[in-house]
Structure 1
Amino acid sequence: MLNVFFAGPQMKQQNDVTLFYKRTLNSPYHDGPVAFYKNGSQIVFSRNNLKGSKPVTRNGRINLELYFARLSGTGEISQMEPFAFNSDDYSIGHPWIADSGDTLFFASDMPGGIGGTDLYRSVKVNGKWDKPLNLGPSINTPGDEFYPFLANDSTFLFASNGHGGFGGLDIFHLDPRHDGAPQNMGYPLNTMSDDFSMVLDNTGRKGIFASNRAGGAGLDDLYHVTIRSFSLQGEVHERESPKAIVPQATVWLLDRQGNRMDSVKSDAQGRFNFVVDFDKQYILTASKDGYSAVDSVHYHTKNHGIGHVQLAIPLWKHSMFARGIIYSNETQKPLARATVFLENLSDGKKDSVITDATGHYDFLVKPNKQYHIRAIREGFLGQMIKMNTHGLFQGNLLNDFVLEEEFIDKVVIQFDYDQYAIRPDELPELDEVLKVLKRRPNSRIHIGAYADSKGTTEYNQRLSDNRAHTVLLWLEARGIRASRIQTTGFGETLLVNRCSDGVECPEEEHSKNRRAELKVQQD
């Protein structure tokens, strides 16, 4: 018959092992295992089903029952009470209980289970244990599950011969806080023999388990075990769509200084696993074509024991672009052969494109970065804009550039409302332009004329054409050949302020749009 024994941490020989509460706990039949709670002052334990001092048998077998009791300092137990769901028809044994005394796990072959012996949980509510709940098919199998143990509320241990493994009973673990299948503890903890009944100390790093493996002193022997590693597990998913997993991503494990230590590929379900040391800080990130890591995951294994943690690594799917068109200010047509530069001010990385006949440029940009975008073309004045993607993760960031041709001199003259005659007060400006053109006989001049938004679009186009033509005639009358003059009427496009159709603006603001820009350029 099995009895419960006690051995202190300094045990060196068999004589150091004594019966535990031998006068009242141990019976002539099987007793144990024992689980402690309430800071070690109370216990729950298994023992054979006895009526008086005689065993109750069923099909030639003596069932197990659970009992609760208090420990005294005099080597006795008191206030022993049976578990409310003990029965002559089935066994209940192998208890684990929370230190608070309100959550109980145990093994039982009670009717309604999944296999031979299943694991159950019961919770004490208002001083009474509720009906045991089967832990379900993720833990229980058509085989047998025994010896539940919950380590630090984060790792559930049990023995099973139904989950597959090395042979006989193997020890499995899972994190009850997350969905997932139990994981075999692996060799050398598990062997082709029966390995079971693992318990751990409060650190979750040292413990004892039983095994009938070869080389022991008897049938079932006790072994010390030291846990030396921890598992960082998780999945890679899209940052903006967490339910969209990312398979075949490269997941990097870095040390606290950012040095690469290891890498794995996420599987078809986006999952990954690293086995790491205790008491160290790690950084995890991932990469894949079409994705970028904009967040890294930091994790410290300090004070951790046996088990694993589930982490999520977000990858940002490339879905944000800086796009636009490069235009000529003089013709308002797209500019080919313009070079557009993108500079990431956060890390100094640069990129560039040369526009085709459409004038388009297109860059991938990342979230939470600062950029400079600069457009240049020979014969034109370059332009630069600043872009900040803070808090942005997707979309097209549209920015067109209007490049102005290089010039020797430039003046702007104004027109009266609905007029294209040159105002007398603008003649001094025109005289200065005329002097430059005569000093530089190889130069040419571009006249761009504009209207305000009052009136129809068609009318304003004609009005701006007339304004440009009026300036051309004024220059021709003073000796400037028409072949040196280029004119463009822009109508009510390219307003210098907000005064477009439907916007209320004072007359002073409208008047600024009635203009002509004269630029003297080198031929």
Structure 2
Amino acid sequence: MKKILILLSIILMNANFISAQNKTTEKADLFFDTYQYVNAITEYKKLAEGKHANAYIYSQLADCYYYVFNNQEASKWYAKAIATSKVDAEVYYKYAQTLKIQGNYIEANKQMELFCQMKPSDSRAIQHIKNPNYIKGLENKTKLFEVENPIFYTEGISDFGAILTDTNELYFTSNSNGSSKLDSRTAQPYLDIYKAIRNEDGFFSKPVAVSELNTIYHDGPLSLSNDGNTMILSRDGLSMGQFEKNKSAKVKVAQQGLYKATKMDGKWMNIEALPFNSQNYTVTNPSLSKDGKTLYFASNMPGGYGDTDIWKVQIANNTYSKPENLGPKINSSEKESFPFITENNILYFSASGRQGFGGLDIYKIDLSLLDEALNVGKPVNSEKDDFSFSFNTKFNTGYFTSNRSNSDAIYSAIPICKSDLSIVVSDIKTGITIENALVSLFDKNGNSITSKATDKNGNVTFEVQCYTEFNITVTSQNHETVSYPVAGISSSAESVFVKLKPLEVVITDKEVLLNVVYFEFNKSNITAQGSIELDKLVKVMNENPTFVIYIKSHTDSKGKADYNLKLSEQRAQATVQYVISKGIASDRISGKGFGISELKVACGSQCTEEEHALNRRSEFLIVKK
């Protein structure tokens, strides 16, 4: 943040603020009043190390570091100011903020308690008194996002304000142009607008500057219409001639404004200022609603609650309504900025005046309900500055900027969404639910995730990530195995009904049950129908390579017993030879004929044809598994 937020703090501060001056501090104060904090630091530091050092100089030097987000130095000089003499309540408040950013919450609380004693009716004091030890609650919040490594990172370069379009174009703002022309207030290059292309794997091409949008001064951040053909962008007033000259400091003081651009033939053109821009205050950080009818932005215009607030205007027929403040549910006495409105009316914004981890934190609020704004928690927020959150619904991916790694970098944020996926398994023919069916989950690459067996109601439930593609496989004894993909689930609970087709071959603990294996009358030749059934046995044995089968062949009670015994033996051996011919090892299959010795129906000479058919059978016993 030592680069981006320096600028944003400068342009969003009240231009009428003048510090208490005297002859000793006159030069330093002039730099301070014209937002030239880098030069002011040099002058105040000389004074702080000299014989005229006092609490005012220390606090002014600390403020300079505070406004350029050098919190370690700011903390050092605030401590020195407080130790020297009584100081203004805001010094204690700012000191507390710098301590929080450094993760020193215990000492920060001590400074906040002093602030509360001096300004007990301040909204920040009321908030602290109500919940002074809020950090533990924030740290224990349910994680809403997974955060990945920066998509671009170069030490010393600031990238922020990323917006991903539905056509995989990423627009963002950066000071990586390498220009030798520097902003005199920050001693850093001016900001430009860049674009990169996101590929199918989520990686980005090398960013390129969008030349038709960039000037020699600050350009960006921006927002895009849903169709990607209209852009609202922030731009420094210097490039448009909207500034005031401070002759004594020899600087031009400009405000940021919002501008509209349209895309034609792949190029941005027709850039025009929005009517509520002003030389007296800044409007910046735009976010356009999906329907293009509402524009949200940050501004320090009159009528706000604090440093900077979030506002909105309505758009109709290319005309803009009077700006409307979003009110105290969102805005505070401190800084609110970087609004982003989602398709479902969730507003994300960054704020420093709420109880957060430190610096700027990212919050969200449902504008349809207007409940309390919610800190999105870690890992999106950190003790450092976290800001400029955006979200693409199509790709279910957010982006935000943080200086947690010393330089402002863009990080991606993937929503964490859990859903209960219930699988109900039943028989397709009977409709009866199947107990102990094995349901297995695999990721889209075929890697196993987990497996569970269904309960007595044929049900099993998995907790899965929303929007994640995966496959399920369901197996059950005596049923065909099924596998198919499941699309990403977006609801908190979803049921999938699986109907299994029963196998024509049933395997019990003791035998393989086939349909009747028919033979021609008085013959042992395998018929065409018989081969179909025996092929099923071959399949079972191939799928269960440890099975050893013993075939028992039986006849009906027609004819003489010795003849039937001989016929059944021939049929048993014919069956064994058929199975061996299909590639099954001979030591895994054997058989014997039993003639009429083991009739299934003992009906004597009074047997019906149906009873004869029941007796005329083959059994395929599993003698080893």
TM-score, normalised to structure 2, is 0.36
Greater RCO, 1 or 2 (C-alpha within 8 Å, sep 6+): 2
TM-score, length basis structure 1: 0.42
Higher helix share: 2
Which is greater in Rg?
Answer: 1
